[in-house]
Amino acid sequence: MFYFIGLGLGDAKDITVKGLEIIKRCSRVYLEAYTSILTVGKEALEEYYGRELILADRDMVEQEADEILKGADVSDVAFLVVGDPFGATTHSDLVLRAMNAGIEYRVIHNASILNAVGCCGLQLYNFGETVSIVFWTDSWKPESFYDKIKRNRDMGMHTLCLLDIKVKEQSMENLMRGRKVYEPPRFMTVAQAAEQLLEVVQNRRERAEEPAITEDTVCVGLARVGADDQAVRAGSLREMAECDLGAPLHSMIITGHLHPLEVDMLKLFSSPEGLSGLKMTDSSTYVS
Amino acid sequence: MFYFIGLGLGDAKDITVKGLEIIKRCSRVYLEAYTSILTVGKEALEEYYGRELILADRDMVEQEADEILKGADVSDVAFLVVGDPFGATTHSDLVLRAMNAGIEYRVIHNASILNAVGCCGLQLYNFGETVSIVFWTDSWKPESFYDKIKRNRDMGMHTLCLLDIKVKEQSMENLMRGRKVYEPPRFMTVAQAAEQLLEVVQNRRERAEEPAITEDTVCVGLARVGADDQAVRAGSLREMAECDLGAPLHSMIITGHLHPLEVDMLKLFSSPEGLSGLKMTDSSTYVS
């Protein structure tokens, strides 16, 4: 049997009892390590499970899938994924290869950022399409995420923005020379995402577009959701651009129409100054 | 500390290691039992945890919240929720009451149906607003879910339909006489949901509306997601109305625009006949 096992979002103990039992009896255990991270590393997981893990980077999953699946028809092999195995990323390719090879598979689900963001008090029912915000470069500044957020907001829906992760990134020079030398991993912060969004807001203003989002739009910044030291901050987009939520991973929500109970919950996560004179001017804009 | 602990979706062992450790040390443990169910009952959980659980029905959570929170400032109390504590349902009211009473709280996340449906191979990124389909009565047949599905499909998005659960329902007579006698619990099946949807499709056709959904629209029926005996079936809406996916809980997805990899995944869950001559005529309609 080939097992896809979700690890949840915080540390080693966020795995389910069922998942842990399976890991202990498998012949090989892979750790997918390019779409998300826990607050603990491979070594901490190995110590907790009492066994060795094989790190599976993107190259291995895409190019050596048959190697990963090998023997899973006669013994148990596990593939560990941070969050839920079919959460923010799907591993459909691996499923299809397993099925083609006559290998049965099972999924052990766990929390993913897509449902755990509910901890900020916004109703998951009221979220529209999830968007990704990627790191801009000097020459590449895609704005498509703005239009998706706008579309969601037009319907009153909240938008979860997943923020870019750059793992095993190669510099242009190393890439061109074919040298497998990697840059340190980078994780987009809420402040960086908010800055990019503010830049798009400004661009659209210059084009005299009807503003769908302004500096005062209510947003929620989240960091290390599910971990002991998780941080949640609610405030204007301008505030998001200035906040420091600490270590990765970060996510950001752009709110749509806010229900009174949602507002009450968000106030728990506002800054004291933001809270004091907080009043709502429209469905999703606070002014102090 | 007041703990909100997600139990996941299958059986007793779908709790996280962290959640289980907390349950074992709490002074009181409540089991929320009106928004969802596991494949095992309260007794099986009590045996697995080695301790007594207090069943918290809707009346208790809404009317005796202070009782539930009592003492959580000096000892640990846990509130168990099937799925994720802030998944399909939020317990914001309990959070706000805790905060007002100066009681700290923590959330132990877990899988919820909102992310676990990814197991069928549809990308969670491509889901729009989640809808609920309620049991129709002779005199009350709301069609609003159809319009939400239509809106999602117009944008190419899939729609997760959560199906009605009736627990502790009173007959009109018992309700009027104030007798706390309850009907057996009812859980809407995929077939029932599909039948209601087909009726709306027919109603809209009679009103000469542009059809957003037809009998051939590709749907996915899911039952007992995350359990050993989970069932997933992909097929036309017409097929959904005739399928029997067994014991609860059921959910249904109405697809929007399908990516080729999503189609390949859905074929794993189609009936053999459906599979043989399957071809796509447009982005989301199969004909055999």
Chain A residue closest in CA terms to B263 = A92
Instruction: ipTM value, please give it.
Output: 0.91
Bridge partners, B251 (sequence order): B162, B222
Of A111, A128, A159, which one is at a domain's C-terminal end?
A: A111
Distance between CA B142 and CA B106 in Å, rounded?
37
Cβ distance B114 to A124 less than 8 Å, yes or no, reads yes
DSSP-derived letter for residue A84 is -
Cβ distance B118 to A18 less than 8 Å, yes or no, reads no
A7 part of contact set with chain B, CB < 8 Å = no
Q: Chain A neighbours among B 32-71 (CB < 8 Å)?
A: none
A84 part of contact set with chain B, CB < 8 Å = yes
The whole-number pLDDT of residue A36 equals 77
- A86 and A188 in a single domain? The answer is no
CB B53 within 8 A of CB B30: yes
Cβ distance B111 to A110 less than 8 Å, yes or no, reads yes
Which of A9, A90, A149 to mutate: most B Cβ within 10 Å?
A90
Q: Chain B neighbours among A 85-104 (CB < 8 Å)?
A: 85-88, 90, 92-93, 95-96, 99
Domain of B251, CATH number, reads: 3.30.950.10
Rg of chain A over all Cα atoms, to the nearest angstrom: 21
A to B CB pairs, distance under 8 Å: 167
CB B254 within 8 A of CB B215: no
B121 part of contact set with chain A, CB < 8 Å = yes
Domain of A28, CATH number, reads: 3.40.1010.10
Of B93, B111, B129, which one is at a domain's C-terminal end?
A: B111
Partner residue facing B99 (CB), from A16, A127, A268: A268
Cβ distance A17 to B18 less than 8 Å, yes or no, reads no
Phi, psi of B258 (to 5 degrees): -105, 130
- B137 and B165 in a single domain? The answer is yes
- Give the CA distances from residue B281 to residues A132, A279, B52, B257, in Å, rounded to whole numbers and listed in that order: 30, 51, 56, 12
- B265 and B179 in a single domain? The answer is yes
Using a CB-CB cut-off of 8 Å, the residues of chain A touching B256 are none
Alpha-helical runs (H) found in B64-211: 65-69, 92-100, 113-116, 144-154, 172-176, 190-206
Q: Buried (b) or exposed (e) across B70-103, using 16+ Cβ within 10 A?
A: eebeeebbbbbbbbbbbbbbbbbebbbbbbeeeb
Partner residue facing B17 (CB), from A17, A88, A261: A17
- In tens digits, chain B (288 residues) has pLDDT values of 999 999 999 999 999 999 999 999 999 999 997 777 888 889 999 999 999 999 998 889 889 999 999 999 999 999 999 999 987 666 888 999 999 999 999 999 999 999 999 999 999 989 999 999 999 999 999 999 999 999 999 999 999 999 999 887 888 888 888 888 888 889 999 999 999 999 999 999 999 888 899 999 999 999 999 999 999 999 999 999 999 999 999 999 999 999 999 999 999 999 766 544 344 444 444 433
- B180 and B198 in a single domain? The answer is yes
Partner residue facing A99 (CB), from B6, B129, B268: B268
Cβ distance B265 to A20 less than 8 Å, yes or no, reads no
The whole-number pLDDT of residue B91 equals 86
Cβ distance B157 to A129 less than 8 Å, yes or no, reads yes
- Give the residue numbers spanning the domain of A39: 2-111
Using a CB-CB cut-off of 8 Å, the residues of chain A touching B129 are 125-128, 155, 157
Task: State the smallest CA–CA distance between residue A188 and chain B in angstroms.
Answer: 19
The pLDDT tens digits for A42-92 are 999 999 999 999 999 888 988 999 999 999 999 999 999 999 998 766 688
Q: Is A271 annotated as a binding residue?
A: no
Task: State the smallest CA–CA distance between residue B120 and chain A in angstroms.
Answer: 9
| Residue B184 exposed, middle or buried by CB count within 10 Å (0-12, 13-18, 19+) | exposed
Q: Is A122 annotated as a binding residue?
A: no
Cβ distance B14 to A119 less than 8 Å, yes or no, reads no
Q: What is the number of structural domains in chain A?
A: 2
Q: Chain B neighbours among A 224-263 (CB < 8 Å)?
A: 225-226, 261-262
Bridge partners, A250 (sequence order): A223
Backbone region of residue B193 per phi and psi (left: phi > 0; alpha: psi in -120 to 50; beta: other values)? alpha
Cβ distance B16 to A17 less than 8 Å, yes or no, reads yes
Of A111, A146, A167, which one is at a domain's C-terminal end?
A: A111
Chain B residue closest in CA terms to A228 = B106
- B182 and B85 in a single domain? The answer is no
- A92 and A127 in a single domain? The answer is no
CB A249 within 8 A of CB A40: no
Cβ atoms within 10 Å of B68's Cβ, excluding its own: 21
- B184 and B258 in a single domain? The answer is yes
- A86 and A151 in a single domain? The answer is no
Could you write out the DSSP letters of every residue in A41-58?
-HHHHHHHHTS--EEE-H
The whole-number pLDDT of residue B108 equals 97
- B180 and B273 in a single domain? The answer is yes
The whole-number pLDDT of residue A179 equals 87
- A95 and A13 in a single domain? The answer is yes
Using a CB-CB cut-off of 8 Å, the residues of chain A touching B14 are 16-18, 109
- A11 and A148 in a single domain? The answer is no
Chain A residue closest in CA terms to B121 = A92
- B156 and B77 in a single domain? The answer is no
Below-50 pLDDT ranges, chain A: 275-288
Single-letter amino acid code for the residue at B22: I
